[in-house]
């Protein structure tokens, strides 16, 4: 297997740390408490939002870096426009968390905290909280750095409690838990006399940070003890047979959730509702052609999911002859921001995903036992043909599938800033990016929009190419893009960057090697290949990749893979893996070059 040289790996990791630090500083400058809280806790509104916003001030974004030495840390701070002379002190909480996670002696982990200041959009004083663990080249701490860079356990957003009275602090913790934030540890730091309470954010939080911190000045160890008890209770398996039975029952009824969301979308209810005004069930039933009682039952269930919320509808005005006694306000339902993602016209609408997961993909899981027994897709067994042929024979279904792929485009957000793309955009001569099987062109649109000097080529099936042409033309990028219809054997030659996004996981290893060899034949010696996929975790920790691995087995016969598995496939095709970095939604971008090609940064092969 081809591997990256150690010094190249260190260089890549240093660049990755600097990029994450720069992104954190930008995030802190651009967001404020009132707008940020509903993004972190979808469905948060009304009195709960007002209570949190009144007591919690957005203070900082935190991340863990692994500089090779103190000078390396100062260099990273300077590169991001942050003060290099920021004082530091030991981090008790993060040191203990790292020690537990990696089974190390805390004394081996000298984690320091620095808080270089930045200013918010209207001049508010904030900070980027940097946890720094020095990892010299070739030290035995390198596995810790590699794991933490991938999983980003310590990346968090922090809110400081303005008046941390015990009752207020407990009330805020209760609000966070009620809206899906899960207690996840904390501690008291005597060096600064401050108490930290960590929470894991809900899976549908609309940001790349997975954790939230409440910071209260002073010693609040009574509140902390209750918080840690909640965290332990959540993580302790089998502590209560009744709770285990309830948990299993919730898992078994997960299919109801999928179908409730799909029915909500199919019936056009999100499009008939509003996030500002509540609607009577009877009015919604008339608008959507549904039965009032059946609709009320569905909406009550969706309230539990946070997709809609109960609301009051103003009572109709009384006529002079009416009974003057006021009638009770009729109950109604209002769409939440989470539910608004299922509107057909919503930016980044997830309606196509709901229709796919509640439609053909849902039906295919009825044959999961067949896929597990035989290793062959349940989709083929149930529908009589493979996933791609079945969709190709139904233009409406094929269009829905392409739209569902675009609905997960949030994972593409950091890709235009990838060093390979940036280097191509800054090259003296105009460079070309080829998106192989690029779907509706959403990724290529983002890259070309961010870099006006780049040109693009999209290779896809004929009907998909036309949809991509419309999208890119509407974005003003069409004049810089060429369109090719064909298969993987038709990868156009002589470009500078090639992209395979969510392609290889559709296929078995032999077909992946074939696809990669087509790319290698087209790639000139200097070209780079970027592969976007979810990576299975090496430590078995929870991951969307593990869920999608089951989905691929059931539906297309493909699979998700670990990074080292992709490295072997690359090597078999004449490529070498240079490195990989995380993307939103548990995705990664893997960077590969032709084996033996010189590294532009070092000039070495």
Q: Write the pLDDT tens digit of every residue in 561-596.
A: 999 999 999 999 999 999 998 888 788 999 999 987
| Confidence band, pLDDT 50/70/90 cuts, at residue 139 | confident
Q: Inform me whether the pLDDT recorded for 510 exceeds 90.
A: yes
Query: What is the reported pTM?
Result: 0.59
Query: What number of residues does the chain have?
Result: 605
Start-to-end Cα distance in the chain:
15
- How far apart are the C-alpha atoms of 325 and 328, rounded to whole Å? 10
What are 138's two structure tokens? Answer: 């070739």
3.30.413.10, 1.10.10.10, 2.10.260.10, 1.10.579.10: which CATH number matches 254-314+330-347?
1.10.10.10
Between these two residues, 117 and 248, which has the higher pLDDT value? 117
The dihedral through the CA atoms of 125, 201, 559, 467 has a sign that is negative
Classify domain 410-594 at the CATH superfamily level. Vaccinia Virus protein VP39 (3.40.50.150)
For the cut 70, the answer to whether the pLDDT of residue 468 exceeds it is: yes
Distance CA 459, CA 437 (A): 5
Domain ranges of the chain: 6-235, 254-314+330-347, 361-404, 410-594
Residue 441's alpha-carbon distances to 196, 220, 355, 402, in angstroms, are 44, 52, 21, 10
Average pLDDT score, the chain: 85
Distance of CA 305 to the CA centre of its chain: 19
3-state SS assignment for residue 258: helix
CA distance 273 to 335: 6
**Residues with catalytic annotation?**
505
Tell me which residue of 206, 173, 190, 160 sits closest to 62, measured CA to CA: 160
Q: Which residues contact 48 (CB under 8 A, 6 or more apart)?
A: 175, 178, 179
The dihedral over CA atoms of 587, 591, 594, 598, expressed in degrees to the nearest 10, equals -170
> Which pLDDT score is estimated for 605?
55
pLDDT for the residue 314: 57
Range 406-429 burial, b when 16+ CB lie within 10 A, else e: bbbbebbebbbebbbbeebbeeee
Residues 440 and 272: their CA atoms lie apart, in Å, by 27
Q: Side by side, which strands form the sheet with 308-312? A: 279-280, 331-335, 308-312
Q: What's the burial of 346, exposed, middle or buried (CB within 10 Å: 0-12/13-18/19+)?
A: middle
Cα separation, 493 vs 485, in Å, equals 14
Say if residues 377 and 387 touch (Cβ distance below 8 Å): yes
Measured CA to CA, the distance from residue 50 to residue 185 in angstroms comes to 25
Evaluate if residue 6 carries a pLDDT over 60.
no
Given a cut of 80, is residue 116 above it in pLDDT?
yes
Q: What is the 3-state secondary structure (H, E, C) of 63-131?
A: EEECCCCHHHHHHHHHHCCCCCCCCEEECHHHHHHHHHHHCCCHHHCCEEEECCEEECCCCCEEEEEEE
pLDDT at 62 over 70: yes
**Rounded distance between C-alpha atoms, residue 122 and residue 12, angstroms:** 35
Q: At what angle do helices 92-102 and 142-151 cross, to 10 degrees?
A: 100
Query: By percentage, how much of the chain surpasses pLDDT 90?
Result: 44
Say yes or no to pLDDT of 289 above 60: yes
- Is the pLDDT reported for residue 4 higher than 70? no
> How confident is residue 306, by pLDDT bands cut at 50, 70 and 90?
confident
Helix or strand or coil: residue 388? helix
Among the listed residues 433, 402, 429, 428, the one whose alpha carbon sits nearest the alpha carbon of residue 530? 433
* Residue closest to 448 by CA, chosen among 461, 458, 459, 460: 458
| Number of helices and strands in the chain (H, E) | 26, 19
Where does the pLDDT of residue 10 fall: very low under 50, low under 70, confident under 90, or very high at 90 and above? very low
For residue 11, pLDDT over 50 is answered with: no
pLDDT at 539 over 80: no
Q: Tokens 């016969």 sit at which residue?
A: 557
Report how far residue 585's alpha carbon sits from residue 577's, in angstroms, rounded to the nearest whole number: 22
Here the tokens at position 103 are 């089974």
List the single range of 238-242, 284-288, 396-400 with lowest mean pLDDT.
Answer: 238-242
CATH architecture of 6-235: Roll (3.10)
Residues 6+ apart with CB under 8 A from 293: none
Task: State the residue for tokens 């229709």.
Answer: 355
Q: Enumerate residues 6+ apart whose C-beta is below 8 A from 239.
A: 233
What gap in Å lies between CA 601 and CA 528, rounded to an integer? Answer: 13
Give 396 or 354, the one with higher predicted confidence: 354
d(CA 300, CA 303): 5
Query: In whole angstroms, what is the distance from residue 440 CA to residue 437 CA?
Result: 9
Helix, coil or strand: residue 400: helix
pLDDT of residue 185: 83
| pLDDT at 91 exceeding the cut of 90 | no
Structure tokens at 398: 């094929």
Band of residue 392 on the pLDDT scale cut at 50, 70, 90: confident
pLDDT higher than 60, residue 14: no
The confidence band for 12, taking pLDDT boundaries of 50, 70 and 90, is: very low
pLDDT of residue 267: 96
pLDDT in tens, 202-215: 877 877 788 899 99
pLDDT of the residue at 322: 44
């Amino acid at each position: 297997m081809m591997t990256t040289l150690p010094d190249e790996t260190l260089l890549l990791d240093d660049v990755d740390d600097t990029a994450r630090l720069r992104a954190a500083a930008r995030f802190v400058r651009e967001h404020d408490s009132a707008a940020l809280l509903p993004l972190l806790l979808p469905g948060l509104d009304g009195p709960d939002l007002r209570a949190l916003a009144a007591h919690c001030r957005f203070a900082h974004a935190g991340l863990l870096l692994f500089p090779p030495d103190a000078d390396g840390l100062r260099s990273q701070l300077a590169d991001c426009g942050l003060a290099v002379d920021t004082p530091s002190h030991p981090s008790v909480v993060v040191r203990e968390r790292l020690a537990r996670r990696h089974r190390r002696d805390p004394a081996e982990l000298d984690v320091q905290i620095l808080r270089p200041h930045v200013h918010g959009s209207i001049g508010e004083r904030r900070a980027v909280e940097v946890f720094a663990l020095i990892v010299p080249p070739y030290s035995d701490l390198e596995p810790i750095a590699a794991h933490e860079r991938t999983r980003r356990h310590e990346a968090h957003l922090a809110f400081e409690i303005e008046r941390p009275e015990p009752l207020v602090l407990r009330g805020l913790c209760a609000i966070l838990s009620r809206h899906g934030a899960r207690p996840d540890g904390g501690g008291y730091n005597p060096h600064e006399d401050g108490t930290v309470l960590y929470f894991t954010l809900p899976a549908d939080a609309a940001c790349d940070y997975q954790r939230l911190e409440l910071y209260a000045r002073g010693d609040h160890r009574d509140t902390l003890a209750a918080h840690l008890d909640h965290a332990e209770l959540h993580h302790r398996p089998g502590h209560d047979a009744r709770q285990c039975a309830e948990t299993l029952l919730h898992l078994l009824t997960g299919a109801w959730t999928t179908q409730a969301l799909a029915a909500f979308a199919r019936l056009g209810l999100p499009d008939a509702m509003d996030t500002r005004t509540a609607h009577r069930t009877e009015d919604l039933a008339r608008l959507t052609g549904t039965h009032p009682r059946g609709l009320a039952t569905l909406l009550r269930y969706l309230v539990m999911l946070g997709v809609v919320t109960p609301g009051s509808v103003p009572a109709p005005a009384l006529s002079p002859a009416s009974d003057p006694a006021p009638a009770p306000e009729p109950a109604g339902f209002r769409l939440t921001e989470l539910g608004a993602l299922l509107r057909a016209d919503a930016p980044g609408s997830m309606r196509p995903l709901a229709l796919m997961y509640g439609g053909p993909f849902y039906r295919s899981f009825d044959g999961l036992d067949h896929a597990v027994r035989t290793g062959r897709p349940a989709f083929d067994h149930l529908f009589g043909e493979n996933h791609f042929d079945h969709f190709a024979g139904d233009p409406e279904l094929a269009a829905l599938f392409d739209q569902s792929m675009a609905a997960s485009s949030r994972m593409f957000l950091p890709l235009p800033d990838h060093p390979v793309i940036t280097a191509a955009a800054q090259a003296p001569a105009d460079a070309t990016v080829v998106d192989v099987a690029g779907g509706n062109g959403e990724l290529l649109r983002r890259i070309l929009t961010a870099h006006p000097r780049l040109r693009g080529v999209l290779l896809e099936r004929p009907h998909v190419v036309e949809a991509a042409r419309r999208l890119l033309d509407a974005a003003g990028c069409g004049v810089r893009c060429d369109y090719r219809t064909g298969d993987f054997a038709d990868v156009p030659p002589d470009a500078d960057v090639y992209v395979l996004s969510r392609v290889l996981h559709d296929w078995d290893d032999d077909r992946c090697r074939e696809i990669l060899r087509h790319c290698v034949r087209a790639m000139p010696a200097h070209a780079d290949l970027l592969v976007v996929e979810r990576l299975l975790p090496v430590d078995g920790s929870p991951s969307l990749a593990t869920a999608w691995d089951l989905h691929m087995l059931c539906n297309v016969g493909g699979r998700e893979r670990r990074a080292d598995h992709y490295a072997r496939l690359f090597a078999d095709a004449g490529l070498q893996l240079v490195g990989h970095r995380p993307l939103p939604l548990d995705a990664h971008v893997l960077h590969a070059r032709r084996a033996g090609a010189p590294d532009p940064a070092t000039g070495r092969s």
